[in-house]
Amino acid sequence: MGLDYDKLIAWPFPEIEQTYTERDTIVYALGVGFGADPTAPAHLRYVYEVGLEAVPAMATVLAGPGFWMQDPRTGVDWKKIMAAEMAITLHRPIPVKGTVVAQMKVTEIYDKGADKGALLTYRRELHDKATGDHLCTLDGSSFLRGNGGFSTQPQPSPQPAPLPQRAPDVSIAIDTLAQAALIYRLSGDYNPLHADPAIALQAGFPKPILHGLCTYAIACRAVMQAHASEPRLTVRSFSSRFVSAVFPGETIATDIWRLGGGKLAFRCRVLERDVVVLSGGTAQMGSFD
C-alpha cells in the first residue's frame, strides 16, 4: 500500500494529554547533554530539582503523537523516515511538571519525486491543562524517503533563509555521549532506528543514529550557552532543517551569527567528518517579562 495523500491530510489525531514530572524534565536535559559539567550553575539549573527549569526545546517531546506513521494504514515506509525540519515558538516558559494537552494536524505533503521521497509537514499546539495557557506552537516536517511519486509531478517545498556570507560570531563545540540516543529515547521517541543496529542497517546506516530532535536540542543548548552572560534572555523561537545524520559520540559544533535585536542564524557541523547536519537555523532570544 502506497501513501494516500487525502488520508494523511485528514489523519484523525485525538487530543493528546501528557502528565510529566520533574524527573522527566531532568531526564530530557541529561539526554541532550546537560550535566556534562556537573557543578556549573548553567547545567544544574536543568538537571537539579532545586531551582529547576525546563530546557526550551523540551516542548518538542511533550504530548507528542508517538510513532504514528508506523501504523500500516498510513502507507508510509516507516523504516525510511527522518526528521526534516522543526520550528518552535514559545508563548510561555515550559513548566517543569504538570499536565499538557496538544492537538496535532498534518498541514501538507510535498512529493519530491519517486526517487527523492516526500516531505510531510505538521503543526502541534501545546496548552497547559490546568490553566489553559497556550505554551507553544510546533511546526515540523518529516522526510519520507520511501514515499515519493504519489502525485503526477514533483512539488517544490519551502526553502530556508540563507546564512550570512561572513564568518560566524561564535562557534560552540559540544561532545555527545556514545549512549546519547539511548538516553534521549527515554523522553518518548522509541523509533528503533536509534537503538537497533539491524534496523539501522536496513535504513542504510552503519549503526544507530542520534535522533534529529536531539541534535536540534543540542543546538538550542549551544545558543543558550552563547548567551550565558545574559540570564534574563531565553529562547523564544528556534528552527532548523535537518540535513545529515549524527552518530552518537560525535562532536557537534554550532556556528552562530548575531543579526541584531536578539535574532540569530546558526548551523551545526559534525567535526569528525566535517559534515553539516543542521542548516538554515534561526532563533529569537528574548524574555517573558
Q: Averaged over 94-102, what is the pLDDT? A: 98
Predicted confidence band of residue 155 (pLDDT cuts 50, 70, 90): low
CA distances from 249 to 26, 164, 179, 194 (A): 21, 29, 8, 13
Predicted confidence band of residue 152 (pLDDT cuts 50, 70, 90): low
Q: Residue 287 burial (CB < 10 Å; 0-12/13-18/19+)?
A: exposed
Say yes or no to pLDDT of 1 above 60: no
pLDDT exceeding 70 applies to what percent of the chain?
A: 97
Q: Averaged over 265-283, what is the pLDDT? A: 97
Give the number of other Cβ atoms within 10 Å of residue 37's Cβ.
Answer: 11
Say yes or no to pLDDT of 153 above 80: no
Residue 113 is predicted with a pLDDT of 82
Q: Averaged over 275-286, what is the pLDDT? A: 96
For the chain, give the mean pLDDT. 92
pLDDT exceeding 90 applies to what percent of the chain?
A: 73
Q: What is the pLDDT of residues 4-15, one digit of tens each?
A: 888 899 999 999
Q: Averaged over 210-232, what is the pLDDT? A: 91
Contact between 259 and 284 under an 8 Å Cβ cutoff? The reply is no
Residue 30 is predicted with a pLDDT of 97
Residue 43 is predicted with a pLDDT of 94
pTM of the prediction? Answer: 0.89
CATH of 5-286, one of 3.10.20.740, 3.40.50.300, 3.20.20.70, 3.10.129.10: 3.10.129.10
Helix, coil or strand: residue 87: strand
Q: Residue 179 burial (CB < 10 Å; 0-12/13-18/19+)?
A: exposed
Lowest mean pLDDT among 2-6, 206-210, 279-283: 2-6
Residue 115 is predicted with a pLDDT of 83
Q: What is the pLDDT of residues 171-188, one digit of tens each?
A: 999 999 999 999 999 998
Contact between 232 and 289 under an 8 Å Cβ cutoff? The reply is yes
Sequence ranges of the domains in the chain: 5-286
Residue 136 is predicted with a pLDDT of 97
Contact between 100 and 94 under an 8 Å Cβ cutoff? The reply is no
- Written as nine digits, the cell of 73 is 494504514
Lowest mean pLDDT among 88-92, 149-153, 176-180, 182-186: 149-153
Q: What is the pLDDT of residues 18-58, one digit of tens each?
A: 999 999 999 999 999 999 999 999 999 999 999 999 999 99
Residue 72 is predicted with a pLDDT of 86
